[in-house]
Structure 1
Amino acid sequence: MVSSTSYRVEPYTPRHTSWPYSPSDFTRQDSSPDTSFYTSPRFVTHIDDAAIVSLREYYDSVLPRKGKILDFCSSWVSHYPPSIEQAVQRGELQVTGMGMNKAELDANALLNNGHIATSLPETSPSAKLDASTCVVSIDYLTSPVAALTSLRTATKSSGTVHLVISNRCFPTKAMSRWLRVDENERLQMVGDYLHFAGWKGIEIVEVSDGKATQEKGQEASGGLFGWMGMGGSDPLWVVRARNEIE
């Protein structure tokens, strides 16, 4: 795992010997198909400008410049830094996007290895992922362990996953337990997902503490998204892990 002294990094410690959550924890207010909810493209950013800057700096410190990256639950922008964009332009890095809306994925110029709608890509041993990212969307997955287990299978040994978390969401599509617990418990819960999916070296990284102040636009201040915090810029964390193949 690549680390940076500029971030507060805490190791995740497994809390449970068996799966601690019930099916009711993963119910949602809106149980209609996600394909219907995401039919119309939303060309907005789901975190504010200050958080985007922090995320790009984090990605710059951890993502590979060669190989293959998957951005899952992707959109029209992946928030990757210029160094990643340049690696894509040189043909040294392949980026695949997985998301629900084709128009949004079509607009993402970084997805030079194509994009897919609803399932993880098939990968051969010689074409496995070096890293994967997911921005403020892990709270929508109703079967997170199954998804992260499939992702681990598609990832090479020592490959990494970076699950970006803030306090924004579409409340009707977030799973119910996410809405009931505080920020620290959400981070621990995502650590649980990774642990039970077989990932190793799980860490919680504080990327931005949200204390900086700036004026928020309509989309960032609740026009489309639920606001689960108060004041300042959007806080940002990453729960990350690596794949260890024995």
Structure 2
Amino acid sequence: MASAASFNTGPFPSTPYTPKYDTWPYDESDFTRYDENDDGVFYRQPRLVTHIDDPSIARLTEYYGTVLPTKGRILDMCTSWKSFYPFEVKQAVQKNEMECFGVGLNAEEMKLNGVFGVEEHWRVLDLNKAPHDVRKGWEGKDVKFDAVTCVVSIDYLVKPLEICRNLLEATKEGGKVHLVISNRCFPNKVVRRWMMLSEQGRLELVGDYLHFSGWKDVEIVDLCARDESGMRVTDDHGTVLIRSPHLPDHLDPLWVVRGTKASSSV
């Protein structure tokens, strides 16, 4: 039996998201939070930790290696001190073939994230405050992205439709967004609806965010741990279903909800 660290290889199966509603089905109460205090206060102290376990980070990095460009511009939304990008992306930044940008809530964390290269490429920006637009950090500059990533943070955003709509405008035609989801969170800061749903319900919720904001070809990608034959080794909560002395009892589950900005000619 392989160790937990070896459960990192693809393929990463995807399924098309199918909307259940004809119009946006949520109201403001769905996006209230237990702690409505200013997010800047909550995130004032740097947290130099990773919010998912090492095997899931390895799977995410491998996934990124199959989908992220190595030329152009990438944005890491709600970023921190690590972006989990593969070596190829970091190498492209060093060669000036690519620029990586980031928006987050803690400057000390972002200063430590080497993928941004220069301070001009990252901004402290609270997306829960108007105008809910990643471009606010670079006003007056025509900054557009070839890809956008966001790791286990979409559940904290109280205006997801506006944010995803603005994100679409900030993305080049053919560009993609990759919203990474697990089951860890700060319960007092996630939106109310999130806490009411199953893992699959949360994936569909994020699919709704992208669909109703105009993203196309929305898909749900399963990055949960699998064995050599491609079979899942955990349930949706991350509980390991295979008894083995080489495996822990838990491996963080991981998914990506992704979408594409369609060409204007479509």
The two structures share one fold, judged by TM-score above 0.5: yes
Does structure 1 residue 165 correspond to structure 2 residue 181? Answer: yes
* Partner Cα separation in structure 2 for residue 235 and residue 150 of structure 1: 29
Structure 2 counterpart of 1:219: none
After TM superposition, give the deviation of residue 170 of structure 1 in Å: 0.5
Deviations 1:38-64 (CA, angstroms, capped at 9, x unpaired)? 000000000000000000000000000
2:78 to 73, 77, 102: 73
Aligned pairs (5 A) from 1:105-120: 105-112=110-117, 114-118=121-125, 119-120=133-134
Give 5+ residue unaligned stretches, structure 2: 1-8, 126-132, 227-231, 240-248
8 Å CA contact retained: 2:56, 2:225: no
After TM superposition, give the deviation of residue 245 of structure 1 in Å: 3.6
Q: In structure 1, give the amino acid aligned to 2:258.
A: R
Does structure 1 residue 138 correspond to structure 2 residue 154? Answer: yes
* Partner Cα separation in structure 2 for residue 233 and residue 34 of structure 1: 29
* Partner Cα separation in structure 1 for residue 259 and residue 142 of structure 2: 21
8 Å CA contact retained: 1:212, 1:232: no
* Partner Cα separation in structure 1 for residue 94 and residue 238 of structure 2: 38
Structure 2 counterpart of 1:52: 57
Aligned pairs (5 A) from 1:78-157: 78-112=83-117, 114-118=121-125, 119-121=133-135, 122=138, 127-157=143-173
Percentage of pairs with the same residue: 48
1:61 to 53, 63, 66: 66
Over 3 Å counting, the alpha-carbon distance change for 1:57 and 1:23 in structure 2 is same
After TM superposition, give the deviation of residue 97 of structure 1 in Å: 0.7
SS, match of residue 110 in structure 1: helix
8 Å CA contact retained: 1:123, 1:154: no
Give 5+ residue unaligned stretches, structure 1: 214-227
Aligned pairs, number: 229
Structure 2 counterpart of 1:43: 48
SS, match of residue 57 in structure 2: helix
Over 3 Å counting, the alpha-carbon distance change for 1:204 and 1:8 in structure 2 is same
Over 3 Å counting, the alpha-carbon distance change for 1:126 and 1:39 in structure 2 is closer
